[in-house]
Structure 1
């Protein structure tokens, strides 16, 4: 056994050493002979007859949150369950070799620095052996399932069946449940598989229909007022508008709508654009479960004078292989209807990188067409396909508490493969503070959590910021009173705080003359006795309960002293306190017209932040390619943290003077030479509730009771998110900003021009 172990280690080492440099836009090269040898050296792991009467339970293969939830009905056996994913488990040796390669690919001193693989090379080196895959496929077919195919990564098998087949093969019952007031389907217990297969089967992704949700706020329809140079919300008043507004800021004169000119000015993108860096030649894919009207994108680039930069737009349904068709077109019901999330992602990645090729990769997951979800399918198909993008943005998510182990494993395996192939992936961290599963509602019945789609150590999690000028009363310093020919008004970079629309916003509390956010929230109760303004709307951050902290995240000043992968990594504008500042999107229902003489849609959320950072990465990629460096950079986070350590200082030792210099509060002049804008004020502690009597809400400090919440729900306790149920202090607040890295804003935002300069130096390091 010892000799076999050493032989396998040596073979893997030889295989990795022999890997060719992959040209990512080209068809896959033939598999290296040394890689092929792995399948002959590594012994099969399915060594016994597959007997469906000899079973092993797959731990954590159902949603733990169902333990306290009573099913509403049994799912009929005839219910289709299409395109589930059986997730495979590679050997420990191959897992170790993969981690070693990823580390080397991001180490400028390694000969494997930026040596990327194709999907076929990835599958041959790090996938499950063909003989073991054949055994699993044979068993699935014997249970009546339709096996659609094996992915090139050799880590997942696409198959379909019915709820009855799932019950018989995996020994679990599919039930209907109501979670967060939404009806869902999920397996009631952990699954079982034949013991002979247990070493190569992680589980099944798609046994429940809880899928990542879009992370944008509800759009507002507004009309531009040329006199005030502001937008006035035109939507009908809702019931809570009848209650005295308790917020610190009154926006009776209208709200602000940012345009591409503004964000380019804020983040140093305009300086790159002036030198010809526009993202030209770089492909950004936004992965979606809905489609958009293509004319929206054309309207957007026309309205904001971006067409001359030569960017392109395409909307596709990617397939991993021609024979395995599992991405179904989420067709638009009528010509005037499109998906807000999709067009936000496509338009605002273009806003930053107007010369880039934008690809909307969308797969339907409605009506059981794709049971594990369209967003995952779109992403994994792109990553396994013949033509792969340079950059992927995913503006979707849900907390790790809402994901079973197999589904989380599938997500992490997908993003690791993208990294090995050189694809830079950006994922929104969430829109509901310390728990991303409550977008558009209030945290209840759950504690601290992090976005399962973003906690992979192979992606860059993007949080949300707000411009601080309104609450600082400095708008005249950073915005002109009138808009220019491109409808922009930003004058420079603007100091930022974490995006937080709740009374937990400590800067808003100060603006209102309150000594603390806690006292400000207590004042809310006086003016908002029914809780219509109670909200958890905020940029999200927090530690993973699944993924371990990567080494690169430990190397910066004030990195959390935990063992968890922490979010966010970076942040960009997402929204504002009180809903004052938004971005403009052009939709089919409300197209943009010259002068904004017709109503337009205003949007926000970390769904905006992620595609904007994807746009910044496209600029970086083009700039590097122009210098003869690779246009594919893989996961951006390791480089971002290495560069941040230069400005903020490392995890140990003294801190450089630039830690103070690069404070976001110093504005444009102070941070002009910085790569990062360090966000150090306020935080993302938001409101949370607990119905009485009801399910206990963890990690919430309750400061009061609303006797009839929103006039419908009876007595509800209301609090602020905290790591302590008995104290709300700077140490327990979840979470505050600080110098260096924080759960509230990560490393902060960036100056794109300075980032490119620093990145070039990093890539050229000996």
Structure 2
């Protein structure tokens, strides 16, 4: 999962956002004739982190978001049309109908455009649903227009810009909800802990074609290293094709034509892989999947690699993410249409791309393998996202998000503040957690455990006590009250973990995520000699879980003959047909041994032998348990029974 990382200090600020995060604008000051935008100063923009000034000539690119008409009416409608038994169930709106009922008025948009132009900004765009006005200008113009100043701050080893005080706008612009882009909250860093970059990576041998095929007891190590006699089996090389269709019980449906035909799944990431179409063709041919020709398209903004902000990021680092997402969806829904939308950067414009996908009603299902490592984002960033998510559900679109790859974000450190990731915590999306999965020689499920991994590197012939490494994100929101679909399902020990009223818990559902039992992914990579060639390697993360689940949901949409909007009411109602992920198999299947090339490519620099344990959630505040849990939600799909229950037939 590509994650836009908040610094550790921001995590502690999450509790302070409980009341303010969705509040929008603050009170108007009659004396100044201005309205303060609540929560528009990032938590890290304080004197302790101030590092310098921002030249007035610095270019800024920002969006002024306008609130939906009707307050929370759009969110209420989104839940109503998505809940079986509701009088409005299935009565989805078209984008035009949603705009007519809820979109900001043309008069309000024109007022904002006029004001921005009067401040010297260049207005560069307004989407069809009029959700925001985008503009460019200088830091000096922004300081004057929004009654603030700007400074550089040193945060997590990065120099980032922020306004020094709360933004404000003239009180005559009452529809303004937030301003996004003046501070650089979203540009701090990107973690590719699971997703490797474009340089070639090879799985080292031995690795297994299926669970338990090769073990330290029946297969020698390539360099003669002796492993402990009780060492667990060698890790799979990576599952693919029929293995995953079989283990989740979807192979029969796919063979009979229930393969996602007629359903469109959108994938949103940043940037784009220039070789993705040919890579997926090669991958499909190798793993028994049908051609994707005629079923795949890619939408990428012009100049995607040339924007100034791209220089702060790693465009090619997302090529593996795109390959993973598309190949995972195609594996589980080989007949579905897949459309990829690449944002021109991996921070500010992801929400704008989501807005376009939703307002164009470009898909029935959207899978998103990115997120922020807490809920401690500026107010102005969260509320616009909620509005877009409400429009998606109201139109019948299902949004899926990876739940995160770092457990409760504490790293197992005592006293650290736990937090789930945003946008997975939104009550208007389906948060998908990860599992560790053993697939047998005949495609059956040997085990499925919660994905929380410990790691231990062989030292002097033994594996020391493993320490926590990574795992499925989850926990209890500090921002959102418990949605109706979780009432009576999520135990109070989770929903009320902080005391007070029940709150939203994540994830909702789960699928394979553990990189040590992950997907075999194929993409064009850069070889050590600088040449480009197609290659395959094992990969995972909840970046895998979300698109796998999206593919299976596409089969249910096809079978039902209609989309679901917010899928959670239906998925929770069908939870008895999901595999309840428990700790029962942990004693029998404690982990795996992975063999790594030290240089990631060949044996020239030797090998490392690493034990990865399964379901090592003991250092964390989130744990696998019977029934709903905050690592795997209500569980993973269980074949025909799940399809029938979700589809209703």
Q: Normalising to structure 1: TM-score of the pair? A: 0.65
Shift in CA distance, 495/51, structure 1 to aligned 2, threshold 3 Å? same
Q: Higher relative contact order by CA 8 Å / sep ≥ 6: 1 or 2?
A: 2
Shift in CA distance, 462/745, structure 1 to aligned 2, threshold 3 Å? same
2:100 alignment partner, SS class: helix
Does 2:474 match 1:497? no
1:281/1:622 contact within 8 Å kept:
yes
Match of 1:217 in 2: 194
Structure of larger gyration radius: 1
Matches within 5 A, 1:481-492: 491-492=443-444
1:214/1:397 contact within 8 Å kept:
no
The alpha-carbon deviation at position 352 of structure 1 amounts to: 0.8
Cα separation, 1, equivalents of 2:556 and 2:415: 42
1:391/1:614 contact within 8 Å kept:
yes
Match of 2:267 in 1: 286
Structure 2 counterpart of 1:587, from 500, 520, 523: 523
Match of 1:561 in 2: 495
Shift in CA distance, 426/494, structure 1 to aligned 2, threshold 3 Å? farther
Cα separation, 2, equivalents of 1:427 and 1:683: 27
Match of 2:481 in 1: 548
How big is each residue's C-alpha offset from its partner over 1:413-453, in whole Å with a ceiling of 9 and x where there is no partner?
111111111111100010001029x8xxx879951112112
Match of 1:36 in 2: none
Match of 1:76 in 2: 55
Shift in CA distance, 260/229, structure 1 to aligned 2, threshold 3 Å? closer
Match of 1:608 in 2: 544
The alpha-carbon deviation at position 161 of structure 1 amounts to: 2.1
Does 2:166 match 1:200? no
Match of 2:111 in 1: 135
Shift in CA distance, 422/541, structure 1 to aligned 2, threshold 3 Å? same
1:537 alignment partner, SS class: strand
Shift in CA distance, 535/118, structure 1 to aligned 2, threshold 3 Å? same
1:87 alignment partner, SS class: strand
Match of 1:275 in 2: 256
2:403/2:542 contact within 8 Å kept:
yes
2:82/2:393 contact within 8 Å kept:
no
How big is each residue's C-alpha offset from its partner over 1:111-139, in whole Å with a ceiling of 9 and x where there is no partner?
42211112232122112333333322221
How big is each residue's C-alpha offset from its partner over 1:376-397, in whole Å with a ceiling of 9 and x where there is no partner?
2221111122x52111010000
Shift in CA distance, 105/228, structure 1 to aligned 2, threshold 3 Å? closer
Cα separation, 2, equivalents of 1:108 and 1:249: 49
Cα separation, 1, equivalents of 2:585 and 2:450: 6
Structure 2 counterpart of 1:676, from 578, 583, 589: 578
2:407/2:473 contact within 8 Å kept:
yes
Match of 2:67 in 1: 89
2:209/2:236 contact within 8 Å kept:
no
1:328/1:363 contact within 8 Å kept:
no
How big is each residue's C-alpha offset from its partner over 1:143-162, in whole Å with a ceiling of 9 and x where there is no partner?
11222333333332222222
1:222 alignment partner, SS class: coil
Match of 1:695 in 2: none
Match of 1:117 in 2: 93
Matches within 5 A, 1:30-45: none
Match of 2:630 in 1: 743
Structure 2 counterpart of 1:299, from 282, 285, 289: 282
1:466/1:498 contact within 8 Å kept:
yes
Structure 2 counterpart of 1:633, from 546, 564, 574: 564
Count of matched residue pairs: 560
Match of 2:145 in 1: 169
Does 2:297 match 1:345? no
Match of 2:218 in 1: none
Cα separation, 2, equivalents of 1:758 and 1:557: 20
2:507/2:631 contact within 8 Å kept:
yes
How big is each residue's C-alpha offset from its partner over 1:682-709, in whole Å with a ceiling of 9 and x where there is no partner?
999xxxxxxxxxxxxxxxxxxxxxxxxx
Cα separation, 2, equivalents of 1:729 and 1:744: 9
Shift in CA distance, 226/250, structure 1 to aligned 2, threshold 3 Å? closer
1:494 alignment partner, SS class: strand
The alpha-carbon deviation at position 195 of structure 1 amounts to: 2.7
The alpha-carbon deviation at position 186 of structure 1 amounts to: 2.7
Cα separation, 2, equivalents of 1:215 and 1:545: 26
Cα separation, 2, equivalents of 1:492 and 1:311: 32
How big is each residue's C-alpha offset from its partner over 1:722-756, in whole Å with a ceiling of 9 and x where there is no partner?
xxxxxx998x9511112211112111111242222
The alpha-carbon deviation at position 611 of structure 1 amounts to: 0.7
1:683/1:735 contact within 8 Å kept:
no
The alpha-carbon deviation at position 250 of structure 1 amounts to: 6.2
Cα separation, 2, equivalents of 1:130 and 1:354: 42
Match of 2:379 in 1: 405
Cα separation, 1, equivalents of 2:377 and 2:229: 35
Which structure has the highest helix share of the two? 1
1:120/1:152 contact within 8 Å kept:
no
Shift in CA distance, 745/223, structure 1 to aligned 2, threshold 3 Å? closer
Name structure 2 gaps, 5 residues minimum: 1-24, 215-225, 497-501, 528-532, 587-615
Structure 2 counterpart of 1:479, from 440, 449, 453: 440
2:341 alignment partner, SS class: strand
Matches within 5 A, 1:228-247: none
1:50/1:194 contact within 8 Å kept:
no
Which structure has the highest strand share of the two? 2
The alpha-carbon deviation at position 760 of structure 1 amounts to: 3.1
Structure 2 counterpart of 1:458, from 418, 421, 428: 428
1:216/1:603 contact within 8 Å kept:
no
Does 2:338 match 1:379? no
1:337/1:589 contact within 8 Å kept:
no
The alpha-carbon deviation at position 108 of structure 1 amounts to: 3.3
2:403/2:474 contact within 8 Å kept:
yes
Cα separation, 1, equivalents of 2:375 and 2:29: 33
2:267 alignment partner, SS class: strand
Cα separation, 2, equivalents of 1:535 and 1:271: 38
Q: Which runs of 4+ in 1 moved over 6 A?
A: 49-52, 244-248, 331-338, 442-445, 526-529
How big is each residue's C-alpha offset from its partner over 1:296-352, in whole Å with a ceiling of 9 and x where there is no partner?
11111111121258762211137xxxxxxxx75348999999711111111111111
Name structure 1 gaps, 5 residues minimum: 1-45, 233-243, 319-326, 367-371, 470-477, 481-489, 504-519, 592-596, 648-674, 685-727
Match of 2:514 in 1: 575
The alpha-carbon deviation at position 80 of structure 1 amounts to: 1.9
Structure 2 counterpart of 1:396, from 346, 365, 370: 370
1:51/1:196 contact within 8 Å kept:
no
